[in-house]
Amino acid sequence: MHCTNRSGTHPSLRQGILPLALGAALLGAVHARAARTPPPPVEPVDFSAQVRPILSSHCFKCHGTDESSRKAKLRLDQRDHAIVDHKGNRPIVPGDPAHSELVRRITATDLDDVMPPPKEHHPLTAQEVALLKRWIQEGAHYTPHWAFVKPVRSPLPAVRMRAWPGNAIDYFILAKLERNGLKPSPRADRYTLIRRLTLDLTGLPPTPAEVRAFVRDHRRDAY
């Protein structure tokens, strides 16, 4: 015998519909929240980290610092050379990848025009091409290699947990944690610290005597 409730719905059917309805409601709420959440800002292209490796791998062999192997008297390793007119064309037009000869060459299908030359068997990937286009669109900014940049002491970032940092580096770590809504882990005890330190430096755990000596030594320079 089949039973139904007053509404004429079979009990087992109601039990199946309820979870589906709840799931649909939750899914709708998640999608609505995602729609209201703005996408994270797109970071500008970093020349040293993202662009220089591409140019170094594909372009600098013929258009770099080595004058003896340089082709067409063109340098792409320096911005002043890369953005000026060369025989009626500008290799890079800051803010305008569509009129940049570099983009035309790396996307060309004509074997006589495409760069790097087919004989190099080293074409750029679609991702590399897209990255160079975005870099040019953003202004084609060059930055000097880190080895030639004079070190400058950065100001300490503001943090909310001002009692937590034990040194200058801690300020930068804590600032990044706070920007991402995170909190630092509890401080490790001295038993853990001596074990970590010894394993990092020697690859071996500390001896019992070393552990006891460190635990009993409460000086700031106990290391």
| Distance linking the first and last C-alpha atoms of the chain | 81
**The residue type at 219:** R
Provide the residue count of the chain.
Answer: 223
pLDDT at 90 over 90: yes
pLDDT at 101 over 90: yes
The C-alpha angle with vertex 98 and arms to 80 and 111, in degrees rounded to 5, equals 95
Q: What integer pLDDT is reported at residue 147 of this predicted model? A: 87
Mean pLDDT for the stretch of residues 166-193 = 94
Mean pLDDT for the stretch of residues 152-163 = 94
Extents of the domains making up the chain: 47-148, 153-187, 188-223
Q: What integer pLDDT is reported at residue 15 of this predicted model? A: 57
Measured between alpha carbons, how far is residue 212 from residues 63, 103, 155, 222 in Å?
Answer: 61, 65, 39, 12
165 pLDDT tier (thresholds 50, 70, 90): very high
- pTM across the whole model: 0.58
Token pair 């190099």 is at which residue? 120
pLDDT in tens, 196-222: 999 999 999 999 999 999 999 988 788
pLDDT in tens, 2-58: 554 555 555 554 555 656 666 666 666 555 555 565 666 778 999 999 999 999 999
- How far apart, in whole angstroms, are the C-alpha atoms of residue 191 and residue 113? 65
Q: What integer pLDDT is reported at residue 199 of this predicted model? A: 96
pLDDT in tens, 61-83: 999 999 999 999 999 999 999 99
User: Please, what is the angle between helix 190-202 and helix 208-216, to 10°?
Assistant: 130
